[in-house]
Amino acid sequence: MKGFTQLDVSRLFSKHKSRIEEALAAYHRRDFYAAYPEMPNDPAYPADGEKTARERFNALIGKRFDDLYQKGDTQVVSAEVSPYTLEELKIGYTAFKDPKDYVEAAEHGARMLWINSTPESRVGVLAEALERIKDAFFDIAVATQHTTGQPYMMAFQASGPHAADRALEALALSYQEQTRFPNKVRWEKPMGKTTAVIEKHFRAMPRGVALAIACSTFPVWNSLPGIFASLAAGNGVIVKPHPGAILPLAICVAKIQQVLKQEGYEAEVCILAPDLPDAPIAKILCERKEVKIIDFTGGNEFGAYIESLPGKVTFTEKAGANSIVIDSTTDLKLMAQNIAFSLCLYSGQMCTAPQNIFISERGVLVGDRLASYDEVVQALVDAVKALSTHPKAGPAICGAIQSPQTLERAKNAGNFGGKLLLEAAPYTHPEFPNARTCTPAIVELSSMRSDLFYRECFGPVAFVVKTDSFEHSMALAKIAVEKTGALSASVYCTNDDRNELTMDSFAEVHTVVAFNLLGQVYMNQNAAFSDFHATGGNAAANASITDVPFVTRRFTIVEAKVAV
């Protein structure tokens, strides 16, 4: 008996096999590996890539995005607004009037051929899709810049090579886990004078339709790993972008659909489901019984709703209150500059950006010298001010503010009830004079104001919290994780014994922690194939990019037994 019927079209897998193997090896080694160069001036990319991408973007404004290979009975004219020009993009996207049609399209597309293909066949197609996405890195970068407000270099790196590396990581790991066990074995059990012989067949089967709900600040980086992990497992995928950042994901979905169609699959195995702020469809999609998997990045309330839905496998990233604890350092200036960069990067609109900075009123040991609390705080304020107001570095690092609500929150930081150490202020962008900009605000709070620092204050706002001691600082940082969750933490301490205890303390609350960062590595950053983004162990996220459950929970192993 042949067992399970699977279509093996592994031509593309053979083409990309070496890269899949390299990615898996790097994943297990946890050292540096990058499949896609992160600098836009790398020879791997066209020299005029940015120029031509900007020309294509400008030509698309007010027009229809025609690169999607999907049906639809209507068109959504987006509510996307560039944070740099403050102009509406008014791009039209193919859409369905009834959200259930997305579910039916994705389910039908997967059942036509995708589900019955071998893992090698699907992985080959998706590895080829990543190559097509690579060809569109510049277009994705410009689209990301003008929907999220990210600085251009960040937009290129985060939505281009870094996102593609994370997707490749998920793809390679999914392949490993789907092929971990043999497809067929002959099972023999001695039973006295006879032997029971069973032929056992094993197959990884998708769970059903997957839904990826994206955020407005990192639509590609946060979404691509889950999209590729679900597709690799044979699930049809609905991509539901944030209504304020549709274009970056539309380009990615178009490239995936292009390869699916080219290889004889239904393009709508992966389908874009755009919507508008005043006509949201996410809840309708979430509650469809055919939707079995949900990836979500966004706020706590909707994240908790998704996690509460029965019969769904969920991967959520929500809000957190990330902390820095300062005890001692070898160099006050370098420490302040490192923290300032993390606070200014994309104007604090990163899920890993620091929010709370705990400093003992006793001061900070700098080498052999005790620096006062006030001196340390002033060093931080001066470093943030110098970086955010620098005419060249400031715009390249801070970028623009994605939403007006985030801007208002930062502007009102002086009304929070603490002491305003640094006021949020707009800066003039050299290329985009109308840009929605804001330098970070820094507010000093007493340790009694946990009502403020135990919850997320998203955007360019940081709290300096005066504590009684290092132990007090650590206790508050740990409670913040237990109450709100955190995706990152940072500690400055030159005492090795104390650092061992601190590492254990953050491990107990399932939080990533970095120690004594002074150079060009920052607590915001996560490297594919080495760092696990979130742990899935605290309230900020119930999943990790990319551990084994991130891929294995998207399929099941089914078995057929045949008596011989």
pLDDT digits (tens, 9 = 90+) for 351-391: 999 999 999 999 999 999 999 999 999 999 999 999 999 99
Task: Answer whether 447's CB lies under 8 Å from 467's CB.
Answer: yes
E strands within 493-545?
513-515
* pLDDT over 60 at 171, yes or no: yes
Other CB atoms within 10 A of residue 98 CB: 12
Whether 313 has a pLDDT exceeding 60, the answer reads yes
Length of the chain (residues)? 564
Per-residue pLDDT averaged across 335-348, rounded?
97
The model's confidence at residue 2, banded by pLDDT at 50, 70 and 90, is: low
* Mean pLDDT to the nearest integer, 251-263: 97
Q: How far apart are CA 473 and CA 324, in angstroms?
A: 9
Separation CA 253–CA 130 (nearest Å): 11
Question: CA 153, 154, 155, 159: dihedral to nearest 10 degrees?
Answer: 120
DSSP 440: P
Domain spanning 323-515: which CATH class is it, in words?
alpha beta
**Predicted pLDDT at 496:** 94
Q: What secondary structure, in 3-state letters, does 96-138 show?
A: CCCCHHHHHHHHHHHHHHHCCECHHHHHHHHHHHHHHHHHCHH
pLDDT of residue 354: 96
Single-letter code of the amino acid located at 127: A
Kindly state the DSSP code that residue 344 receives in the 8-state scheme.
H
> Tens digit of pLDDT for each residue in 72-93?
999 999 999 999 999 999 999 9
Question: Phi, psi at residue 508, to the nearest 5°?
Answer: -65, -30
**What are the strands of the beta sheet with 184-191, ordered from one edge?**
184-191, 194-206, 555-563
User: pLDDT by residue (tens digit) across 520-538?
Assistant: 899 999 999 999 999 999 9
Average pLDDT over residues 58-79: 96
How far apart, in whole angstroms, are the C-alpha atoms of residue 363 and residue 354? 20
Selected residue with higher pLDDT from 10 and 63? 63
Contact of 475 with 505, CB cutoff 8 Å: no
pLDDT at 3: 61
pLDDT of residue 65 exceeding 70: yes
Question: Torsions phi, psi of 505, nearest 5?
Answer: -65, -45
Q: Which residue has the tokens 């160069």?
A: 37
**3-state SS, residue 356:** strand
CA angle 17, 18, 19 (to 5 degrees): 90
Neighbour-count burial of 553, counting CB atoms closer than 10 A to its CB (0-12 exposed, 13-18 middle, 19+ buried) = middle
Q: pLDDT at residue 35 above 70?
A: yes
Alpha-carbon distance 58 to 53, whole Å? 9
Q: Give the integer Cα–Cα distance in Å for 470 and 455.
A: 21
Per-residue pLDDT at 10 exceeds 90? no
Percent of the chain residues topping a pLDDT of 90: 96
Q: Residue-wise over 327-348: b if at least 16 C-beta within 10 A, else e?
A: bbbeebeebbbbbbbbbbbbbb
Report the distance separating Cα 27 and Cα 243, nearest Å: 34
Average pLDDT along the chain: 96
In the prediction, which pLDDT does 7 show? 66
CA dist., res. 22 & res. 33, Å (int): 9
Residue 4 has pLDDT above 80, yes or no: no
pLDDT of residue 102: 98
* pTM of the predicted protein model: 0.96
DSSP labels for 248-284?
A: HHHHHHHHHHHHHHHTTS-GGGEEE---BTTB--HHH
Q: How far is CA 320 from CA 85, 302, 356, 410, in A?
A: 30, 14, 11, 17
pLDDT at res. 112: 84
Q: Percent of the chain at pLDDT above 70?
A: 99
* pLDDT confidence tier of residue 441, bands split at 50, 70 and 90: very high
Give per-residue pLDDT as tens, 451-479: 999 999 999 999 999 999 999 999 999 99
Of 386, 239, 226, the C-alpha closest to 317 is 226
* Residue 184 backbone phi and psi in degrees, to 5: -150, 140
pLDDT higher than 90, residue 6: no
- On the question of a cis peptide bond just before residue 546, with omega within 30 degrees of 0, the verdict is yes
Helices 137-148 and 119-135: crossing angle, nearest 10°?
Answer: 70
Q: How far is CA 13 from CA 8, 22, 360, in A?
A: 10, 14, 56
Q: 281, 288, 286: which is closest to 296 by C-alpha?
A: 286
Q: How far is CA 219 from CA 141, 269, 513, in A?
A: 11, 20, 25
Dihedral sign of CA atoms 128, 129, 132, 138 in order? negative
Q: Which CATH class is domain 11-315+543-563?
A: alpha beta
pLDDT interval class at 5 (50, 70, 90): low
> Domain residues of the chain, as ranges?
11-315+543-563, 323-515
CB atoms within 10 A of CB 63: 11
Residue 132 has pLDDT above 80, yes or no: yes
Give per-residue pLDDT as tens, 145-154.
999 999 999 9
Distance between CA atoms of residues 245 and 228, nearest Å? 19
The amino acid at residue 73 is: D
Q: Concatenated DSSP letters for 414-439?
A: GGSSSEEEE-------SS-TT----P
Helix (H, G, I), strand (E, B) or coil at 502: helix
290: alpha, beta or left? (left if phi > 0; alpha if psi -120 to 50): alpha
Contact 243, 276 (CB under 8 A): yes
